[in-house]
Amino acid sequence: MCALALPASAWGTQLTSISAGFSPDRLGAHTSLSLGFGVSTPDGSLPAALTSIAFHYPPELGIGTSDLGTATCNPAKLSYYGPSICPPNSIMGSGNALAKFQVSPEVSEETASIALVAGPSQNGYVKLLISATGTYPVQTRIVMSTLLLPGRFQISVPLVPGLPEGPPVAVVRVKATLGGRLTYYERVHGRRTPYHPEGLLLPRRCPRGGFKFNATFSFVDGTQSQAQTKVKCPHG
Amino acid sequence: MTFALVAITALAAIPALAGATRVREVRDEGHMRFLSAEATLIVDEGAMSGTIPGRSRVYFTYNGSPNVSARFVIHAAAGNLDGRATCRLNNPSSPTPSFRGALQIVGGSGRYAHAHGSGELFGVFHRHGYGLVVQAIGKLTY
Protein backbone atom coordinates (compact mmCIF):
# COMPACT_ATOMS: atom_id res chain seq x y z
CA MET A 1 0.00 0.00 0.00
CA CYS A 2 1.34 3.41 -0.91
CA ALA A 3 0.53 6.25 1.48
CA LEU A 4 0.71 9.87 0.46
CA ALA A 5 2.24 12.40 2.80
CA LEU A 6 -0.13 15.23 3.56
CA PRO A 7 1.18 18.76 2.91
CA ALA A 8 1.54 20.90 6.03
CA SER A 9 -1.31 23.13 4.86
CA ALA A 10 -3.64 20.17 5.18
CA TRP A 11 -3.48 20.75 8.94
CA GLY A 12 -5.38 23.76 10.15
CA THR A 13 -7.05 24.86 13.35
CA GLN A 14 -8.20 22.06 15.56
CA LEU A 15 -11.56 22.43 17.30
CA THR A 16 -11.77 20.91 20.73
CA SER A 17 -14.45 20.26 23.30
CA ILE A 18 -14.45 18.69 26.74
CA SER A 19 -17.11 17.01 28.82
CA ALA A 20 -17.37 16.19 32.52
CA GLY A 21 -19.89 14.54 34.76
CA PHE A 22 -20.39 12.92 38.14
CA SER A 23 -22.17 9.70 38.89
CA PRO A 24 -23.98 9.88 41.21
CA ASP A 25 -24.50 13.60 40.90
CA ARG A 26 -25.11 14.35 44.58
CA LEU A 27 -23.31 16.82 46.80
CA GLY A 28 -21.53 15.29 49.78
CA ALA A 29 -21.61 11.83 48.25
CA HIS A 30 -18.93 9.60 46.85
CA THR A 31 -18.91 9.68 43.10
CA SER A 32 -17.08 8.77 39.95
CA LEU A 33 -15.78 11.47 37.62
CA SER A 34 -16.15 11.10 33.86
CA LEU A 35 -13.97 13.27 31.67
CA GLY A 36 -13.90 13.38 27.91
CA PHE A 37 -12.69 15.43 25.02
CA GLY A 38 -13.16 15.64 21.27
CA VAL A 39 -10.95 16.98 18.47
CA SER A 40 -12.16 17.93 15.02
CA THR A 41 -11.43 20.29 12.15
CA PRO A 42 -13.78 22.82 10.54
CA ASP A 43 -13.71 20.98 7.21
CA GLY A 44 -13.83 17.49 8.66
CA SER A 45 -10.31 16.62 7.58
CA LEU A 46 -7.92 14.59 9.70
CA PRO A 47 -6.86 16.69 12.70
CA ALA A 48 -3.24 17.07 13.69
CA ALA A 49 -1.99 14.69 16.34
CA LEU A 50 -2.16 15.73 19.99
CA THR A 51 1.11 16.29 21.80
CA SER A 52 -0.12 17.40 25.21
CA ILE A 53 -3.19 18.17 27.27
CA ALA A 54 -3.24 20.45 30.30
CA PHE A 55 -6.38 19.83 32.34
CA HIS A 56 -7.72 22.00 35.14
CA TYR A 57 -10.36 20.62 37.48
CA PRO A 58 -12.02 22.00 40.63
CA PRO A 59 -9.60 21.69 43.57
CA GLU A 60 -12.62 21.04 45.83
CA LEU A 61 -12.92 17.55 44.36
CA GLY A 62 -11.56 15.04 46.84
CA ILE A 63 -9.25 13.27 44.43
CA GLY A 64 -6.43 13.20 47.01
CA THR A 65 -8.67 11.89 49.77
CA SER A 66 -10.29 9.25 47.59
CA ASP A 67 -9.69 5.56 48.18
CA LEU A 68 -8.81 4.98 44.53
CA GLY A 69 -5.42 3.46 43.76
CA THR A 70 -4.20 1.87 47.01
CA ALA A 71 -1.57 -0.14 45.16
CA THR A 72 0.71 0.73 42.27
CA CYS A 73 1.47 -0.85 38.93
CA ASN A 74 4.88 -1.01 37.32
CA PRO A 75 4.78 1.21 34.22
CA ALA A 76 7.07 -1.05 32.20
CA LYS A 77 4.94 -4.12 32.94
CA LEU A 78 1.80 -2.16 32.14
CA SER A 79 3.27 -1.14 28.81
CA TYR A 80 4.26 -4.69 27.86
CA TYR A 81 1.46 -6.81 29.29
CA GLY A 82 -1.42 -4.38 29.62
CA PRO A 83 -3.57 -3.51 32.65
CA SER A 84 -4.39 -7.15 33.40
CA ILE A 85 -0.89 -7.47 34.92
CA CYS A 86 -1.61 -4.71 37.43
CA PRO A 87 -2.77 -5.32 41.01
CA PRO A 88 -6.56 -4.88 41.22
CA ASN A 89 -6.14 -2.16 43.85
CA SER A 90 -4.09 -0.07 41.41
CA ILE A 91 -6.90 0.24 38.85
CA MET A 92 -8.50 3.68 39.20
CA GLY A 93 -10.82 3.76 36.21
CA SER A 94 -11.37 2.99 32.57
CA GLY A 95 -12.54 4.42 29.28
CA ASN A 96 -12.17 4.35 25.54
CA ALA A 97 -10.68 6.38 22.75
CA LEU A 98 -11.17 6.81 19.04
CA ALA A 99 -8.20 7.52 16.80
CA LYS A 100 -8.03 8.25 13.09
CA PHE A 101 -5.22 7.80 10.63
CA GLN A 102 -4.67 8.35 6.96
CA VAL A 103 -4.83 5.33 4.65
CA SER A 104 -4.84 7.38 1.50
CA PRO A 105 -7.20 8.45 0.17
CA GLU A 106 -9.35 7.18 3.00
CA VAL A 107 -9.26 7.95 6.67
CA SER A 108 -9.45 4.87 8.84
CA GLU A 109 -10.24 4.71 12.48
CA GLU A 110 -9.42 2.53 15.44
CA THR A 111 -10.90 2.32 18.91
CA ALA A 112 -8.73 1.78 21.94
CA SER A 113 -9.57 0.76 25.48
CA ILE A 114 -8.22 2.97 28.25
CA ALA A 115 -7.16 1.95 31.74
CA LEU A 116 -6.42 4.49 34.49
CA VAL A 117 -3.88 2.99 36.85
CA ALA A 118 -1.96 4.22 39.89
CA GLY A 119 1.76 4.32 39.28
CA PRO A 120 4.62 4.78 41.75
CA SER A 121 4.13 8.14 43.45
CA GLN A 122 6.54 10.94 42.70
CA ASN A 123 7.54 13.72 45.08
CA GLY A 124 4.57 12.80 47.27
CA TYR A 125 2.02 13.14 44.49
CA VAL A 126 -0.16 10.38 43.09
CA LYS A 127 1.01 9.36 39.63
CA LEU A 128 -1.73 8.35 37.22
CA LEU A 129 -0.79 6.00 34.39
CA ILE A 130 -3.04 6.10 31.32
CA SER A 131 -2.83 2.99 29.20
CA ALA A 132 -4.43 3.03 25.75
CA THR A 133 -4.61 -0.31 23.95
CA GLY A 134 -5.74 -0.68 20.35
CA THR A 135 -6.15 -4.03 18.67
CA TYR A 136 -7.54 -3.55 15.16
CA PRO A 137 -6.44 -2.74 12.55
CA VAL A 138 -3.21 -1.87 14.36
CA GLN A 139 -2.20 -3.64 17.56
CA THR A 140 -0.58 -1.06 19.76
CA ARG A 141 -0.38 0.20 23.34
CA ILE A 142 0.83 3.49 24.66
CA VAL A 143 1.22 4.40 28.32
CA MET A 144 1.19 8.01 29.40
CA SER A 145 1.68 9.33 32.90
CA THR A 146 0.70 12.41 34.82
CA LEU A 147 0.96 13.66 38.38
CA LEU A 148 -2.38 14.45 40.00
CA LEU A 149 -1.58 17.93 41.29
CA PRO A 150 -4.26 19.85 43.22
CA GLY A 151 -6.63 21.17 40.60
CA ARG A 152 -4.62 20.24 37.55
CA PHE A 153 -2.72 17.62 35.62
CA GLN A 154 -0.80 17.58 32.37
CA ILE A 155 -0.38 14.70 29.96
CA SER A 156 2.30 14.47 27.29
CA VAL A 157 0.92 12.42 24.42
CA PRO A 158 3.47 10.45 22.40
CA LEU A 159 3.15 10.55 18.65
CA VAL A 160 1.97 7.26 17.22
CA PRO A 161 3.26 6.81 13.67
CA GLY A 162 0.68 6.23 11.01
CA LEU A 163 1.51 4.56 7.75
CA PRO A 164 4.96 5.24 6.27
CA GLU A 165 5.25 8.83 5.00
CA GLY A 166 1.84 9.57 6.44
CA PRO A 167 0.86 11.81 9.34
CA PRO A 168 0.82 10.45 12.88
CA VAL A 169 -2.34 8.95 14.29
CA ALA A 170 -4.81 11.55 15.54
CA VAL A 171 -6.85 10.95 18.67
CA VAL A 172 -10.29 12.45 18.03
CA ARG A 173 -12.33 11.33 21.02
CA VAL A 174 -11.62 10.12 24.52
CA LYS A 175 -13.92 9.37 27.41
CA ALA A 176 -12.67 7.99 30.71
CA THR A 177 -14.11 7.54 34.18
CA LEU A 178 -12.14 7.93 37.39
CA GLY A 179 -13.81 5.54 39.79
CA GLY A 180 -16.83 3.50 38.83
CA ARG A 181 -17.58 -0.10 39.65
CA LEU A 182 -14.15 -1.31 40.76
CA THR A 183 -13.30 -4.27 42.96
CA TYR A 184 -10.40 -4.05 45.40
CA TYR A 185 -9.19 -6.53 47.97
CA GLU A 186 -8.12 -6.28 51.59
CA ARG A 187 -7.09 -8.68 54.34
CA VAL A 188 -9.80 -9.15 56.92
CA HIS A 189 -8.98 -11.65 59.66
CA GLY A 190 -6.36 -13.17 57.38
CA ARG A 191 -8.74 -13.64 54.45
CA ARG A 192 -8.59 -11.83 51.11
CA THR A 193 -11.87 -9.96 51.07
CA PRO A 194 -13.27 -7.97 48.13
CA TYR A 195 -14.75 -4.52 48.50
CA HIS A 196 -15.73 -1.67 46.20
CA PRO A 197 -13.80 1.59 46.64
CA GLU A 198 -16.11 4.51 47.19
CA GLY A 199 -14.35 6.91 44.83
CA LEU A 200 -14.11 10.69 44.93
CA LEU A 201 -15.95 12.73 47.53
CA LEU A 202 -17.98 15.66 46.27
CA PRO A 203 -18.05 18.68 48.54
CA ARG A 204 -21.30 19.41 50.34
CA ARG A 205 -21.33 22.93 48.95
CA CYS A 206 -21.27 23.53 45.24
CA PRO A 207 -18.93 26.29 44.06
CA ARG A 208 -20.66 29.30 42.55
CA GLY A 209 -21.37 28.63 38.89
CA GLY A 210 -20.88 24.91 39.20
CA PHE A 211 -17.82 22.68 38.93
CA LYS A 212 -15.66 24.16 36.20
CA PHE A 213 -13.21 22.24 34.03
CA ASN A 214 -10.97 23.54 31.30
CA ALA A 215 -8.25 22.14 29.10
CA THR A 216 -5.56 23.34 26.75
CA PHE A 217 -4.66 21.05 23.87
CA SER A 218 -1.35 21.25 21.99
CA PHE A 219 -0.90 19.69 18.55
CA VAL A 220 2.01 18.51 16.46
CA ASP A 221 1.43 21.33 13.96
CA GLY A 222 2.27 23.87 16.68
CA THR A 223 -1.30 25.01 17.24
CA GLN A 224 -3.21 25.07 20.49
CA SER A 225 -6.87 24.98 21.35
CA GLN A 226 -8.76 25.53 24.58
CA ALA A 227 -12.05 24.16 25.77
CA GLN A 228 -14.09 24.43 28.92
CA THR A 229 -17.16 22.97 30.47
CA LYS A 230 -18.92 22.95 33.79
CA VAL A 231 -21.03 20.55 35.74
CA LYS A 232 -24.04 22.42 37.06
CA CYS A 233 -24.72 22.36 40.77
CA PRO A 234 -26.92 19.38 41.53
CA HIS A 235 -30.31 20.03 43.00
CA GLY A 236 -30.74 19.11 46.67
CA MET B 1 -14.52 0.66 61.96
CA THR B 2 -12.77 -0.04 65.27
CA PHE B 3 -9.06 0.18 65.95
CA ALA B 4 -7.07 -1.55 68.68
CA LEU B 5 -5.54 0.86 71.17
CA VAL B 6 -1.76 1.10 71.27
CA ALA B 7 -0.02 1.14 74.64
CA ILE B 8 1.33 4.54 75.62
CA THR B 9 4.16 5.43 77.97
CA ALA B 10 3.47 8.82 79.54
CA LEU B 11 6.47 10.80 80.66
CA ALA B 12 6.47 12.13 84.24
CA ALA B 13 5.23 15.69 84.59
CA ILE B 14 7.48 18.27 86.19
CA PRO B 15 6.06 19.12 89.61
CA ALA B 16 4.98 22.72 89.97
CA LEU B 17 3.60 25.00 92.63
CA ALA B 18 -0.15 25.83 92.41
CA GLY B 19 -0.74 28.89 90.16
CA ALA B 20 2.74 28.76 88.69
CA THR B 21 3.45 28.09 85.04
CA ARG B 22 3.86 24.43 84.34
CA VAL B 23 5.94 22.85 81.63
CA ARG B 24 5.21 19.29 80.67
CA GLU B 25 6.64 16.83 78.23
CA VAL B 26 3.61 15.47 76.43
CA ARG B 27 3.04 12.27 74.52
CA ASP B 28 -0.47 11.52 73.38
CA GLU B 29 -1.84 9.04 70.89
CA GLY B 30 -5.24 8.24 69.50
CA HIS B 31 -7.16 6.27 66.93
CA MET B 32 -9.64 8.56 65.23
CA ARG B 33 -12.82 7.42 63.53
CA PHE B 34 -14.26 9.15 60.51
CA LEU B 35 -16.96 11.64 61.43
CA SER B 36 -17.59 13.71 58.31
CA ALA B 37 -15.89 15.09 55.24
CA GLU B 38 -16.01 18.11 52.98
CA ALA B 39 -14.14 16.85 49.92
CA THR B 40 -10.54 17.66 50.86
CA LEU B 41 -11.27 18.08 54.59
CA ILE B 42 -11.62 14.96 56.70
CA VAL B 43 -13.03 15.27 60.22
CA ASP B 44 -12.21 12.46 62.63
CA GLU B 45 -12.91 11.99 66.29
CA GLY B 46 -11.70 9.63 68.96
CA ALA B 47 -10.14 9.07 72.34
CA MET B 48 -6.65 10.33 73.08
CA SER B 49 -4.58 8.56 75.69
CA GLY B 50 -1.27 9.53 77.21
CA THR B 51 -0.09 12.52 79.17
CA ILE B 52 -3.29 14.52 78.60
CA PRO B 53 -6.08 12.05 77.92
CA GLY B 54 -9.42 13.10 76.50
CA ARG B 55 -11.60 13.17 73.42
CA SER B 56 -10.12 14.72 70.33
CA ARG B 57 -11.49 16.01 67.06
CA VAL B 58 -9.05 16.33 64.17
CA TYR B 59 -9.64 18.38 61.00
CA PHE B 60 -7.30 16.91 58.39
CA THR B 61 -6.88 18.63 55.03
CA TYR B 62 -5.43 16.72 52.09
CA ASN B 63 -5.96 18.07 48.56
CA GLY B 64 -3.53 15.77 46.75
CA SER B 65 -0.46 17.78 47.68
CA PRO B 66 1.92 15.95 50.05
CA ASN B 67 1.82 19.04 52.28
CA VAL B 68 -1.09 18.29 54.56
CA SER B 69 -2.42 20.22 57.53
CA ALA B 70 -4.38 19.42 60.62
CA ARG B 71 -6.23 21.31 63.32
CA PHE B 72 -7.24 19.54 66.47
CA VAL B 73 -8.99 20.05 69.75
CA ILE B 74 -8.40 17.81 72.76
CA HIS B 75 -11.23 17.90 75.29
CA ALA B 76 -9.41 16.98 78.48
CA ALA B 77 -10.73 16.86 82.04
CA ALA B 78 -9.02 20.14 83.00
CA GLY B 79 -9.92 22.01 79.80
CA ASN B 80 -9.50 22.04 76.05
CA LEU B 81 -6.28 22.23 74.09
CA ASP B 82 -6.23 23.73 70.58
CA GLY B 83 -3.48 22.92 68.16
CA ARG B 84 -2.45 22.80 64.56
CA ALA B 85 0.14 20.99 62.51
CA THR B 86 1.69 21.06 59.07
CA CYS B 87 2.98 17.74 57.87
CA ARG B 88 4.45 15.94 54.91
CA LEU B 89 2.56 12.91 53.69
CA ASN B 90 4.50 9.98 52.32
CA ASN B 91 3.56 7.19 49.95
CA PRO B 92 0.19 8.57 48.83
CA SER B 93 -0.60 5.45 46.79
CA SER B 94 -0.42 3.23 49.84
CA PRO B 95 -3.68 2.24 51.56
CA THR B 96 -2.24 3.84 54.73
CA PRO B 97 0.05 6.75 53.89
CA SER B 98 1.95 8.18 56.84
CA PHE B 99 2.61 11.80 57.66
CA ARG B 100 4.91 13.71 59.97
CA GLY B 101 5.42 17.35 60.78
CA ALA B 102 5.58 20.26 63.16
CA LEU B 103 2.94 20.71 65.81
CA GLN B 104 1.93 23.85 67.71
CA ILE B 105 -0.37 24.30 70.66
CA VAL B 106 -2.06 27.67 70.17
CA GLY B 107 -4.37 27.96 73.16
CA GLY B 108 -7.15 26.34 75.05
CA SER B 109 -9.62 26.71 77.85
CA GLY B 110 -9.86 25.96 81.56
CA ARG B 111 -6.46 25.06 82.96
CA TYR B 112 -5.05 25.36 79.44
CA ALA B 113 -6.42 28.82 78.68
CA HIS B 114 -2.93 30.22 78.14
CA ALA B 115 -1.35 27.04 76.86
CA HIS B 116 1.30 27.11 74.24
CA GLY B 117 3.81 24.60 73.02
CA SER B 118 5.37 22.82 70.12
CA GLY B 119 6.44 19.41 69.05
CA GLU B 120 5.87 16.85 66.35
CA LEU B 121 2.80 15.16 64.96
CA PHE B 122 3.04 11.69 63.48
CA GLY B 123 0.16 9.91 61.86
CA VAL B 124 -1.32 7.44 59.45
CA PHE B 125 -4.28 8.11 57.16
CA HIS B 126 -6.48 5.10 56.37
CA ARG B 127 -7.71 5.82 52.86
CA HIS B 128 -10.36 3.10 53.05
CA GLY B 129 -12.62 4.35 55.79
CA TYR B 130 -10.91 7.75 56.35
CA GLY B 131 -9.60 6.84 59.80
CA LEU B 132 -6.56 8.49 61.35
CA VAL B 133 -3.99 7.32 63.86
CA VAL B 134 -2.15 10.25 65.40
CA GLN B 135 0.68 10.66 67.87
CA ALA B 136 1.69 14.01 69.32
CA ILE B 137 5.01 14.47 71.09
CA GLY B 138 6.19 17.79 72.46
CA LYS B 139 6.49 20.29 75.24
CA LEU B 140 3.50 22.07 76.68
CA THR B 141 3.54 25.22 78.79
CA TYR B 142 0.40 26.33 80.66
* pLDDT lower than 50: segments of chain A: 1-11
pTM above 0.90, yes or no: no
Question: What is the ipTM metric for this complex?
Answer: 0.83
Which residues of chain A neighbour B64 with C-beta distances below 8 Å? 63-64, 125-126, 148-150
Is B18 within the bounds of a domain? no
A208 vs B: CB within 8 A: no
Which residue of B lies nearest to A152 if distances are taken between CA atoms? Answer: B64
Q: Name which residue leads in pLDDT, B9 or A141.
A: A141
Q: Closest Cα of chain B to A120: distance in Å?
A: 7
Domain at B38, CATH number: 2.40.350
What are the structural domain ranges in chain A?
16-231
What is the pLDDT, as a whole number, of residue B18? 53
Which residues of chain A neighbour B4 with C-beta distances below 8 Å? none
Q: Is the pLDDT of residue B114 over 90?
A: yes
Contact A88, A181 (CB under 8 A): no
Q: How many domains does chain B have?
A: 1
Please write the tens of the pLDDT for every residue from A93-139. Answer: 999 999 999 888 888 999 999 999 999 999 999 999 999 999 888 88
Is B117 within the bounds of a domain? yes
Residue B61: which domain range?
Answer: 24-141
Strand positions, DSSP E, chain A: 15-23, 30-40, 50-56, 91-103, 106-122, 125-134, 140-147, 152-156, 170-178, 184-188, 191-195, 200-201, 211-219, 224-231
Q: Is the pLDDT of residue B16 over 50?
A: no
What is the pLDDT, as a whole number, of residue B5? 38
Q: What spatial distance separates the first Cα and last Cα of chain B, rounded to whole Å?
A: 35
* Cα dihedral: B11, B17, B19, B23 (round 10): -30
> A28 exposed, middle or buried (CB, 10 Å; 0-12, 13-18, 19+)?
middle
What is the pLDDT, as a whole number, of residue A10? 39
Which residue of B lies nearest to A202 if distances are taken between CA atoms? Answer: B39
A196 vs B: CB within 8 A: no
Q: Closest Cα of chain A to B92: distance in Å?
A: 6
Please write the tens of the pLDDT for every residue from B26-65. Answer: 999 999 999 998 878 999 999 999 999 999 999 999 999 9
Find the CB nearest A69 among B42, B93, B130: B93
| Helix (H), strand (E) at residue A81 | helix A75-81
B132 vs A: CB within 8 A: no
Q: Is the pLDDT of residue B81 over 70?
A: yes
Which residue of A lies nearest to B94 if distances are taken between CA atoms? Answer: A70
Q: Is the pLDDT of residue B10 over 50?
A: no
B88 vs A: CB within 8 A: yes
What is the pLDDT, as a whole number, of residue B87? 98
The answer to whether the CB atoms of A65 and B95 lie below 8 A apart is: no
Report how far Cα A200 is from the mean position of its chain's Cα atoms: 16
> What is the mean predicted confidence (pLDDT) over B76-88?
97
Distance CA A11, CA B54 (A): 68
Amino acid at the residue A18: I
